[in-house]
Amino acid sequence: MSTISIQSVSKCYQNGFEALKNVNTEIHSGSFTVVLGPSGAGKSTLLRLINGLETPTTGAVRIGGEAVEEHKLRHIRSRVAMVFQQFNLVDRLSVVTNVLTGRLAQRSWVGSVLYLFRGEDMAIAQRVLARVGLTDKAWSRADKLSGGQQQRVGIARALAQQPKVILADEPVASLDPVSSEEIMTLLREICDRDGITVVVNLHQVELAKRFADRVIGMNGGRVVFDGPPAELSQQTLRTIYQREGIEDDNSLDLALAYA
């Protein structure tokens, strides 16, 4: 089981800014969840807490009953993979090496620091590269690929971890509509076929409606909506995207009219 449970989590950054305010939620194993919300709502913070890239100020995050804690990060991260908006690949390394990075947590540093991998790891890398359709780019340098291809390498790296959970922080924000569609389809298929829990931060309401099982709406560090995408009415969208201190927000109405 790999249910993610977020228990009374608050996050106060060093500068005193409270990015999350007492968030409570459970994300079920094998589900596809999309987190929506305006910029600064705390979506990235929430995702980064699950992977241990940030630590909660109060409260706890558990994955399959195990708390995400400093001394267990290697173990937790080996099961909770992350996909980034800027792909975050190592530019100078080949596509295969970037994918093999996903195997690091399973191997001691002794061989891996010399870029030596076992045959089984190479087999996994080949399988996931075929899965994302980049077999022929295996030996290219990562920074020679297009944005869409780089994001597929990012997903391949995540898959190589053979994780229980994949967290994707705005995975399509830097991509064109066609690549965005490909990436979302790929993530959905990973969820359906491998039973991997997928949590995606998005800015596109339309993509959320089409791909998500469940939508979590955030605003000002709180969860303000939680339900299936079918319940995303104009009214709920207004609640999710409303801006502090603005009652009749014309640009909000305009922006949501076509959502």
Partner 1 sequence: MNVHDLNSARPQLPPKPRNPMPVWVAATLAMLWLIVWDLEISFETLAYGVEDMAEYFSRYRQPDFSDLSRYLELMGITLATALWGTVFALLVAFFLAPLAARNFAPNPLAYRIARETLNFMRAMPDLLLALIFVAALGLGPLPGALALGVHTTGFLGKFLAESLERVDKGVCEGVASTGADFPQMVMYAGWPSILREALGYVLYILDRNVRMASVLGLVGAGGIGLALHDTLRLFNYGQSAALILVILATILIIDYASAWLRGRLG
Ligand X SMILES: Nc1ncnc2c1ncn2[C@@H]1O[C@H](COP(=O)(O)OP(=O)(O)OP(=O)(O)O)[C@@H](O)[C@H]1O
> Which x/- pattern, by CB under 8 A, does the window 94-133 give for partner 1?
---x---xx-xx---x--xx-x------------------
**CA separation (Å) from 48 to 105, 149, 188, 201?**
18, 24, 21, 11
Q: Pattern 7-26, binding to partner 1, x per CB under 8 A?
A: --------------------
Residues 6+ apart with CB under 8 A from 103: 112, 117, 121, 124, 125, 160, 161
**Among 34, 41, 44, 87, interactor with partner 1 by CB under 8 A:** 87
Please, are residues 172 and 183 in contact by the beta-carbon 8 Å criterion? yes
* DSSP code of residue 134: -
- Give the number of residues in contact with Mg ion, rule: CB under 5 A: 1
Work out whether 244 is an interface residue with ligand X (CB under 6 A): no
Binding string to ligand X for residues 11 to 40, with x set by CB under 6 A, is what? --xxx-x-x-----------------x-xx
Place of tokens 């409303």: 242
- Provide the minimum distance between the beta carbon of 224 and ligand X in the complex, in angstroms, as a whole number: 13
Which residues are paired to 47 by β-bridges?
none
- Beta-carbon contacts of 144 under 8 Å, excluding residues fewer than 6 positions away, are none
Shortest separation between residue 161's beta carbon and partner 1, angstroms = 6
Q: How many residues appear in the chain?
A: 259
Site residues (vs Mg ion, CB under 5 A): 44
Which residues contact ligand X by CB under 6 A?
13-15, 17, 19, 37, 39-45
